[in-house]
Amino acid sequence: MRKVDRIVILTGAGISAESGLGTFRDEGGLWAQHRIEDVATPEAFVRNPDLVHQFYNARRAQAADAGSNAAHVALARLQSEFPGDVILVTQNVDGLHEMAGAAAIHMHGELSRALCATCEHRWDAPLSMETGATCPACAAPTARPDIVWFGEMPYHLDQIVEALQTCDLFAAIGTSGQVYPAAGFVEEARMAGAATIELNLRDSDMSHAFEDHITGLASVTVPKWVDQVLAGR
Ligand code: APR
């Protein structure tokens, strides 16, 4: 196996499932409880901002009460102990990677941040946001959750693609591989000659694209995988 100097990791909702945060597409998940077009698009926010704030206020409160689990802690350990680069990209908007001591690139935004739709100023969101809240920078009543909604461009893509094109190992953890561009990251990494591994409870839509797979609960499989990587296996 080629020497691993740079690892890129992509995490999805599955890594936070054992912290009590619901995933989107598992049985009874968030998209079984809410229609995406009602709570997670710019059009939804224009049509019914109260409903959108209500959806994110509930998730913000839940995330604020959640604790990181052994999988988050293991990735933080990998970042601090691995002699090369460990670039952690997350689709998750909770702060559980940071709570465990890791640095994560939030490509879908963060529940803990607010964004002004007028001047694009960002600030720490209050636990509960309401319609018409004003921006602390321009005073426009256009504060919104700093979340990337369907139809909007994910954040930090240039930085992420550059990392994928120069990595030796790509791991996807707890993601169904159904939403692009994240679902395409494995192909980008493979084209760069990286080894690829998927850690999930079950097969995902992108399982076919990964060389290796570890099946099981992230809180069990991720710490074991991190031990293997740190031991150079
Ligand atoms: N351990 C490991 N994997 C798990 C666990 C667990 N305990 N629980 C669930 N999973 C896996 C599921 O098998 C599934 O593949 O996590 C994945 C969750 O998939 P989704 O609910 O689709 O979440 P995700 O892939 O993060 O969604 C991507 O879609 O709705 C948008 O913006 C939203 O960021 C989200 C994106």
The residue contributing the CA closest to ligand 1 atom 21 is 24
Give the distance (Å) from ligand 1 centre to CA of residue 11.
8
- For residue 133, what is the domain's CATH number? 3.30.1600.10
Task: Specify whether the CB–CB gap between 212 and 198 falls below 8 A.
Answer: yes
Task: Specify whether the CB–CB gap between 27 and 17 falls below 8 A.
Answer: no
pLDDT in tens, the chain (233 residues): 568 999 999 999 999 999 999 999 999 999 999 999 999 999 999 999 999 999 999 999 999 999 999 999 999 999 999 999 999 999 999 999 999 999 999 999 999 999 999 999 999 999 999 999 999 999 999 999 999 999 999 999 999 999 999 999 999 999 999 999 999 999 999 999 999 999 999 999 999 999 999 999 999 999 999 999 999 87
Q: Strand 122-124 to strand 143-147: parallel, antiparallel, or no bridges (unpaired)? A: unpaired
Q: Which of 97, 125, 147 is the last residue of a domain?
A: 147
Q: Which of 95, 122, 147 is the last residue of a domain?
A: 147
Give the distance (Å) from ligand 1 centre to CA of residue 126.
26
Q: Indicate if 191 and 233 belong to the same structural domain.
A: yes
Q: Indicate if 196 and 215 belong to the same structural domain.
A: yes
Q: Indicate if 58 and 102 belong to the same structural domain.
A: no
Q: Indicate if 214 and 164 belong to the same structural domain.
A: yes
| Cα distance between residue 144 and residue 116, in whole Å | 6
Q: Which residue has the tokens 């598992």?
A: 26
What tokens appear for 186 in the block?
């494995």
Q: Indicate if 225 and 130 belong to the same structural domain.
A: no
Q: Indicate if 169 and 103 belong to the same structural domain.
A: yes
Q: How many domains does the chain have?
A: 2
Q: Indicate if 168 and 200 belong to the same structural domain.
A: yes
Q: Indicate if 233 and 188 belong to the same structural domain.
A: yes
Q: Indicate if 45 and 90 belong to the same structural domain.
A: no
Write down the pTM of the prediction: 0.98
> Residue 209 sits in which domain range?
1-21+68-108+154-233
Atom of ligand 1 nearest to the CA of 93: 34
Task: Specify whether the CB–CB gap between 171 and 225 falls below 8 A.
Answer: yes
230 Cβ inside 6 Å of ligand 1: no
Q: Indicate if 74 and 87 belong to the same structural domain.
A: yes
- For residue 187, what is the domain's CATH number? 3.40.50.1220
Q: Indicate if 118 and 197 belong to the same structural domain.
A: no
Atom of ligand 1 nearest to the CA of 29: 21
Q: Indicate if 82 and 191 belong to the same structural domain.
A: yes
Task: Specify whether the CB–CB gap between 212 and 195 falls below 8 A.
Answer: yes
55 Cβ inside 6 Å of ligand 1: no
Q: Strand 6-11 to strand 85-90: parallel, antiparallel, or no bridges (unpaired)? A: parallel
Query: DSSP E strands: which ranges in the chain?
Result: 6-11, 85-90, 104-106, 109-116, 122-124, 143-147, 169-173, 195-200, 212-215
